[in-house]
Structure 1
């Protein structure tokens, strides 16, 4: 459950184009991935208790000011790179966490936070022309990302600063206004990061600075209706994170969505995505044959079993039952869950229910 309070200070105190937002959520549950798949990286569920497993978790607490009819937007407060960098709401039509609403390779890093994790932030978005934009961001880096209740803002947990630069092109082609979104960007985290070393007895090696770079797109091919996303849309993207100090170093995904295919059901939607992930070097597999034992790689007896690659297919159909009410059955298939190949491929069936009041 989520509760959001938006205040328009133009109407309250006559401060034009100035708003504040506070969002809290209830985050209670368990991770199906670690319970059943021995996969600590990609979870089949969008919401599972992450962010604290608590009754109340503070997400957003920020102010936003606009100039020139929204051509310039400044956002400051408890915010995150998630809404502005390497993200798209289209990626959350399917249920799995592999792409919703950012590729999983980004959200595993300390310098990138997304719902429900936040950090002290300042973000400036400028539109030189209506179809184009450039976004600059500066964020504190904190592995806690707000902590259990979202209110752990202590300075002792800040490890560095994350600087972000991104841009995009958002055309609408032809008389049917076939919407497209093309984007690229990078984020650099100044924090110290330990190398993924599991076989060396030498002292831990550290690197200052971690880079995330990405490209992504979505493009409507056929329009089905009047809504901005009503049509057949293809999408895809690629993310790279500095190898050697990352859990996931590379992720690529492709997908197709069909929204409003049936005239009588304009908000129904079909979504299909496939995502391929490559683990960073020397990332230890979480799979072990027995509690308290360490499985060694049969090809290298002096090191633990390592994770290497994993793929996920996700298919969903969203039934729009009424204003603010949606139910979406979902099917996912995991190849090499956990990345080691020692856990069998797995099929996951789920249901996503969404009610907005």
Structure 2
């Protein structure tokens, strides 16, 4: 709702977004992988008909040099994310590295928490973003409407900055960003290979660096061109599911004359699991696991890699169809599940 048109309040809007999230996770059903889902939609955010996502107000000043957002929001749109990462279908990088979304202090579409975010542009190509968010493992729950205070475990404070240059006569866009998030919650160390009492610590840190840069322009749209991208995310190792993730990618949008919205996307992502994270796949009792001297020790996850390739075909106004191919090395991170090839298709219809 644009309140400048309704009550003559300039540059003030309110937003409510709800989505349909019915479905199951292919990764859990077929890959013994509960971490990286090949699908963007089905099985994420709760198997429900309607899921409430955003419910927030936003005020802008000085021609959008200062923007304040408050309400049911998330770090996802502002920290360690990019819409370019969602050209491919898989959730390894869409629209942020999977390492971030597995933490309680980082919520992203369709999960939201009570938030307040301030973004300031000291100069046109630079920005600084400050955010404060409640920490809630539920992140709105199955339907996005569970806002109960009993589930709040702490607060997450975030700071990030970026540089968005435009090079040369062909206006080659770039986005360079760095930042960190600190969750004050109490976290348990997952020491699955000992009988010692669970240890706890306060605080979990997410730090990241990421970039994308257009190397060659193909057309008039801001993203029409040959683009390289990459990034690295680290999460406090002892209490994280994924402690480290690195990714690289290349996108070529509008490469064929007469088809300005067709796009090719290729990404490769490598993930390192936190220590003592159990693999979903477990052999039968008594099998030789990681340590021949400890046959009853749970099978742990260690590392996993994913390649994702897609080609988006722009059929017409508002209609896009994108066949997608993914290959998983070490699904679930244990090395005991066979590598898997996945074929899919992503369709967008906008009326």
Alignment TM-score > 0.5, same fold: yes
Deviation at 1:259, TM superposition (A): 0.1
Q: Any gaps of 5 or more consecutive residues in structure 2?
A: none
Query: Structure 2 CA distance, aligned partners of 1:95 and 1:76?
Result: 30
Is 1:251–2:245 an aligned residue pair? yes
SS at 2:105 equivalent: coil
2:80 aligned residue = 86
Match among 255, 258, 262 for residue 264 of structure 1: 258
2:58 aligned residue = 64
Does the 8 A contact of 2:308 with 2:324 survive in 1?
yes
Query: Structure 1 CA distance, aligned partners of 2:219 and 2:45?
Result: 37
Deviation at 1:49, TM superposition (A): 2.3
Deviation at 1:288, TM superposition (A): 2.1
Q: Any gaps of 5 or more consecutive residues in structure 1?
A: 1-6
Query: Structure 2 CA distance, aligned partners of 1:193 and 1:215?
Result: 24
Change (3 A) 1:51 1:294: farther
Is 1:355–2:349 an aligned residue pair? yes
1:20 aligned residue = 14
Is 1:319–2:319 an aligned residue pair? no
Does the 8 A contact of 1:224 with 1:230 survive in 2?
yes
Query: Structure 1 CA distance, aligned partners of 2:288 and 2:239?
Result: 22
Is 1:122–2:116 an aligned residue pair? yes
Alignment deviations for residues 118-162 of structure 1 (CA, whole Å, 9 cap, x no partner): 000000000000000000000000000000110100100000000
1:98 aligned residue = 92
Change (3 A) 1:300 1:79: farther
Deviation at 1:62, TM superposition (A): 0.2
- What are the equivalent positions in structure 2 for 1:267-278 lying under 5 Å apart? 267-278=261-272
Deviation at 1:293, TM superposition (A): 8.6
Is 1:336–2:336 an aligned residue pair? no
Query: Structure 2 CA distance, aligned partners of 1:299 and 1:100?
Result: 39
Does the 8 A contact of 2:291 with 2:297 survive in 1?
no
Does the 8 A contact of 2:282 with 2:298 survive in 1?
no
SS at 2:20 equivalent: strand
Could you say which structure has the higher strand fraction?
A: 1
List structure 1 segments (4+ residues) > 2 angstroms apart after TM superposition. 292-300
Deviation at 1:289, TM superposition (A): 3.5
Is 1:217–2:244 an aligned residue pair? no
1:55 aligned residue = 49
Deviation at 1:294, TM superposition (A): 8.4
Query: Structure 2 CA distance, aligned partners of 1:159 and 1:51?
Result: 20
Query: Structure 2 CA distance, aligned partners of 1:324 and 1:118?
Result: 28
Is 1:297–2:290 an aligned residue pair? yes
Query: Structure 1 CA distance, aligned partners of 2:104 and 2:337?
Result: 28
1:109 aligned residue = 103
Query: Structure 1 CA distance, aligned partners of 2:115 and 2:58?
Result: 12
SS at 2:85 equivalent: helix
Query: Could you tell me the TM-score, scaled by structure 1's length?
Result: 0.96
Query: Structure 1 CA distance, aligned partners of 2:204 and 2:63?
Result: 36
Query: Could you tell me the TM-score, scaled by structure 2's length?
Result: 0.98
Change (3 A) 1:322 1:10: same
Q: Number of aligned pairs?
A: 350
Change (3 A) 1:15 1:97: same
Match among 135, 141, 145 for residue 135 of structure 2: 141
SS at 1:60 equivalent: strand
Q: CA RMSD in A?
A: 1.2
Is 1:199–2:193 an aligned residue pair? yes
Query: Structure 1 CA distance, aligned partners of 2:67 and 2:230?
Result: 27
1:151 aligned residue = 145
1:3 aligned residue = none
- What are the equivalent positions in structure 2 for 1:2-41 lying under 5 Å apart? 7-41=1-35
